[in-house]
Structure 1
Amino acid sequence: MSKVCEVCGKAPVAGRSISHSHRVTNRWFRPNIQKVTIKDKNGRVRKANVCTKCMKAGKVERA
């Protein structure tokens, strides 16, 4: 499944985990992407990959 939100374009971001002893390892911050049924701009019902922040903010009209 795609890791990019189709509404806001949010995608994974690279970063670093730093332990208590300050050992540094690479990691990814991934958005919480869910496949939901929505109504698009043309009024058609389809499935889309949407992050939970967009769903909570009401940026998507769910079908």
Structure 2
Amino acid sequence: MAVCSICGKRTTTGNQVSHSNIKTKRTWSPNLQRVKIILNGTPKKVYVCTRCLRSGKVQRAV
């Protein structure tokens, strides 16, 4: 579910590294917002990351 419908940004995984160099698995989630946008001429509710919203890659429906 956590995927931006514009750029495809999704949850990534990696290691959390402590000061003593102990590594445990962790995830980073993108900042997704469910917004109503104009997609192919029709308004639709989709998940969009805040970077796509801020850069103007989507046109929000009012």
Q: TM-score, normalised by structure 1?
A: 0.90
Once the 2 structures are TM-superposed, how far is the Cα of residue 16 of structure 1 from its aligned partner? Answer: 0.4
1:51 alignment counterpart: 49
Q: Does 1:62 align with 2:60?
A: yes
Q: Deviations over 1:11-59 (max 9, x none)?
A: 111100001111111001111111001011x211110100111101110
Q: Which amino acid aligns with 1:23?
A: I
The CA distance in 1 between the partners of 2:2 and 2:48, in whole Å, is: 9
Count of aligned residue pairs for this structure pair:
61
Q: TM-score, normalised by structure 2?
A: 0.91
Q: Which runs of 5+ in 2 are unaligned?
A: none
1:1-40 aligned within 5 A: 2-40=1-39
